[in-house]
Structure 1
Amino acid sequence: MTMDEIELAEDEESSDYVTFDMLGERYAFPMRRVQEIIRMPSVVRVPLGPPSLEGLANLRGRVLPVVNLRQCCAMEQAEHDETTRVIVVDSGVPLGFVVDRVASVISIDPQALEPADAVQSTVRSDVLVGVIKSGEGEMTTVLDVDQLIGSQFAGLAERRPGGGREAASRPTGEPDPEAESDDTLELVSFAVEGQEYALPIDQVQEIVQAPESVSHVPNAAGQVLGVIDLRGRLLPVVSMRRVFGLPVTPLEPQNRIVVVSLKDGVVGVVMDTVREVLRVPHQLVAPLPGVVAGEGRKTEVESVCRLEDGKRLVSVLSVNRMFDSPEVRDEIAGYREDDEEMTSERPGEADDGRGGEELFVVFRLDKEEYAVDVDAVQEIIRVPDALIRVPKSFDFVEGLVNLRGTVLPVVDLRTRLGLARAPRDERQRIVVLIIGGVRTGFIVDSVAEVARVGRNVLEPAPELSEEQARVVSRVANLPEQQRMLLLVQVDQLLAADQAAVAAGLCEEIVDEALAGV
């Protein structure tokens, strides 16, 4: 018995079909395979997937891959409009096919379904099951759901709820041979009134975008702006401008709230902008000179970093000194007590600290949000005005930069993920990672935040292509925030041979420099 005959035998047991139109022709899926029909949703585009993939959508808390059926069937493309619909089919995991218009649900006599062997159509014959002939001479082509899926997404049909790649659910970053050294100080730098400051990264829990407004609290301490809701927890928010005695400005999209830990609780600090993650050698960090470490706010500066041969000075702040006044400490402790009471009233929502969450650096590429584990990020720096171009290298290698005396290969992450290049602008940053033992920089459109994400919203990414499954291993589905983060597997960004080439480029540059001395 052929596959078509097996499919026909199964369809005879269920003779209901969902019919739809594409390019003026009528097609159908067996009703038993259709879960639901929805309007075209907003999608998050996924790099390295097949051309037919529109992106990932949120379907009531589940990740839904959305596929352009015209593209699957090699048809001429058309813009989506009010009649466009997505037919969600059961493929072990839900999968949505975009069609021009849904026509109806029909019931037929099983004898009216004929095999598609001799049928000529605009779609490939290998995705046809059969043809339904009506009394008026019209024909409806029945498509093979499994064949469509298998032809586009290797491995997706094999996925089942609860399955998935073990490596995808527990990603591990490359160990940094230098991370265990105590020779560097890790900092998050930010700007206030044009001046650059920094906080030790171990005191920063996360960095989030400032909301449009903060709920003001009457009779609050002078530095406290109010409170915000941070994933169901009350977070007191303090203005760094008020801490420094500067005028407070309205919240803007570029403002960030740095969530820091104090012995009395947790507080969010509003910064004008967050600039970089820095890894600074200790020999470039000096205590604040005694002549300026006197009374008043100056004592909030713990030390000073001398970067770029002293042309750039970054003041390192002490979190505890910033909030040393009794009224602010009492205010923060009061919010913690209120929040603990609220949490205890919600059964089943125990605070397990970091145990139930993961911390990610979130960045943007082509309007979509990606994330990497914060432990994999060495630092985040600005893109220099000029890069040393490397001839005869990979297309995605942008060049080399001098990072405090070390040669750093720089990759255009858009190009590496198959996206169009973007012109350089002030928002772009280089995220420095360790891959294959080589420190490598990746240019991203912008760095958005450091986000703390609950493990309950993390799930394996659909296996839409072999390379995509390796690089984009998981998805953080955040429907309440109307967001979906694509989690990047750092050690898969460069293949072993590509990482070796990057290391070789650095060695060649160093050798040439030494030869010229």
Structure 2
Amino acid sequence: MAKARKAHEATRQLVFAVSGQGYSLPAEHVLEVGRRPTITRVPNAPAALAGLMNFHGVATPVVRVSALVAGPESNDFASSSESKIIVYDEGGAVALLIDDVVQLSADSSAQSLNIGRLLADTFLTTARISRRNVVQSGYEAPREGAPINDRDRALLSFQVSGQYFALPLESVVEVLTLPVDVTGLPRSEVTSVGMISLREELVPLISLAALLGLPGDANGRRHVVIVRFEEARVGLVVDTMRGVVRIPESSVEPVPSILQRGDGDAEIDAIARGDDGRPLISILSPSGLFRNRAVSVELAGQAAENKTMTDVSTAEANQRFIVFQLGDDVFGLPIGSVDEIVQLPEAISRVPNAPEFVTGVINVRGKAVPVIDQRLRFDAAQSATAKRPRVIVVTIERLRAGFIVDSVSEILSVPDSAIGPAPQLPGNGGHVFDRVAARDGAMILLVDPRELLDKAERDLLERFKPAPGAARAL
């Protein structure tokens, strides 16, 4: 009887519908059936690959069955609602986008699909997801917060009440948009905005404008800079993020003695001169901020509550990533690989004889830097909200280049346990992404900086040398 029951289970078929047609799969290989999840698009992937989904913490390819059935050479496949998924075990989990599940039956006249063969025909290979190299990329980035050379300061720059401020990059844990549901505190300091729960830890929020005696801007979209000093963390509410900047030490001066008076003097550590007419940047002192009485009161008030909560953030190491947008897609880049983030100038200088993939050249602190429009390379949709694109400046094997993106939204601190390997992805762009990070049920594709340019492009860029006066002319 047991053998007969086992044989019966092996012959059952899961019948489903796609584009009005019925198909079936062996039920014994079905891992899960559910509604369409959040899917992360993979740039330049074949039409059959819808993207990646988070399946119990593992990045899993999501495939359109309508495209598989149409064949690898066809881009004209029948329309499908794709409202459901079947997670199927085919030498590794793969999610199949379908319209609906019809029945589970041992007797079905629906067309049986050989998923393994269809995947092989479409993608050439579907490799079992490997668990090796889950945490660390093959890219060996500079130490986080380390300057590109010893004479530079790596800073995170932002605006408060129209003025420019910055914090040392190594003191910044992460940056996020100010949540709507901030918990207010009774009888709190005037500088207090409230508190938020961040990975099982209560973090007090302080208005940097109020702390520095500046008028606040309650109308704009504000951000929270999570700052670490020793064992304490606090969220500083600021107005507009400017991005990562690297300032030569020769451009940094101590605070004038006449300004070392008043309530806010201890918080400002130095002043950075802007080049090319850029405004001055006040560099804040993390130790000075945490010594401020208002901040000390907020930290003391939360210490008791945090003792009763599990601090998972100190239980394992975290990695930090710059999160940027291209159209509706979100990507992460190791923060240690980023030289600087600047706004895209209104006009980009076109340089004769530049490689075809180079959009133009911009002036970054007196040096001509070639820029590449990553929106085109990732085939990203036009962003409806991006007002002023940004340029992420990266050094790749001694070559410095800027990559145009729609926006840079935050610095994300990701626990090692939430980082996994990217599955082997088909298409021209799959090799760019070596890892993925799980966040709020979705996956963020993590970019391997070395793969932003292939060897041929690096060779062309190496031979491309803008004229010595190109930077001054920009």
TM over 0.5: yes
Q: Which residue of the partner structure matches residue 191 of structure 2?
A: 223
**1:99 positional shift:** 2.5
Q: Does 1:182 align with 2:150?
A: yes
Cα root mean square deviation, aligned: 3.0
Structure 2: distance between partners of 1:384 and 1:204: 27
Q: How do 1:78-117 residues align onto structure 2 when only pairs under 5 Å count?
A: 79-81=79-81, 84-108=83-107
8 Å CA contact 1:259, 1:266 repeated in 2:
yes
8 Å CA contact 1:153, 1:463 repeated in 2:
no
Q: In structure 2, what residue type is equivalent to 1:148?
A: L
Q: Does 1:72 align with 2:68?
A: yes
Q: Which residue of the partner structure matches residue 467 of structure 2?
A: 509
Structure 2: distance between partners of 1:388 and 1:96: 45
Could you tell which deviates more after superposition, 406-415 or 260-269?
A: 260-269
8 Å CA contact 1:210, 1:251 repeated in 2:
no
**1:313 is matched with which residue: 280, 292, 312?**
280
8 Å CA contact 2:15, 2:25 repeated in 1:
yes
Q: Which residue of the partner structure matches residue 332 of structure 1?
A: 299
**1:152 is matched with which residue: 122, 138, 145?**
122
Q: Structure 1: which 5+ runs fail to align?
A: 1-10, 109-131, 135-139
1:88 partner SS: strand
**1:337 positional shift:** 4.4
**1:265 is matched with which residue: 217, 222, 232?**
232
8 Å CA contact 1:264, 1:329 repeated in 2:
no
**1:84 positional shift:** 3.8
Q: In structure 2, what residue type is equivalent to 1:212?
A: V
Q: Does 1:244 align with 2:205?
A: no
Q: In structure 2, what residue type is equivalent to 1:316?
A: I
Q: Structure 2: which 5+ runs fail to align?
A: 1-6
1:275 partner SS: strand
Q: Which residue of the partner structure matches residue 142 of structure 1?
A: 112
8 Å CA contact 2:131, 2:420 repeated in 1:
no
Structure 2: distance between partners of 1:512 and 1:374: 29
Q: Which residue of the partner structure matches residue 5 of structure 1?
A: none
**1:365 positional shift:** 1.4
Q: Does 1:207 align with 2:207?
A: no
Q: Which residue of the partner structure matches residue 3 of structure 1?
A: none
Structure 2: distance between partners of 1:77 and 1:343: 50
Q: RCO greater where, 1 or 2, for CA within 8 Å and sep 6 or more? A: 2
Q: How do 1:449-460 residues align onto structure 2 when only pairs under 5 Å count?
A: 449-460=410-421
Q: In structure 1, what residue type is equivalent to 2:255?
A: L
Alignment CA distance shift 1:423-1:411 (3 Å) = farther
Structure 2: distance between partners of 1:512 and 1:327: 49
**1:26 is matched with which residue: 18, 22, 31?**
22
CA displacement 1:197-228 (0-9 Å, x = unmatched): 11121221221221103211223233222211
Matched residue count: 461
**1:85 positional shift:** 2.7
Structure 2: distance between partners of 1:503 and 1:406: 15
Alignment CA distance shift 1:404-1:398 (3 Å) = same
Q: How do 1:383-462 residues align onto structure 2 when only pairs under 5 Å count?
A: 383-390=344-351, 393=354, 395-420=356-381, 426-462=387-423
Alignment CA distance shift 1:334-1:249 (3 Å) = same
CA displacement 1:347-380 (0-9 Å, x = unmatched): xx5824xx52111111111212110111111111
Could you tell which deviates more after superposition, 425-434 or 193-202?
A: 425-434
Q: Which residue of the partner structure matches residue 329 of structure 2?
A: 368
**1:292 positional shift:** 3.0
**1:383 positional shift:** 0.5
Identity level (%): 31
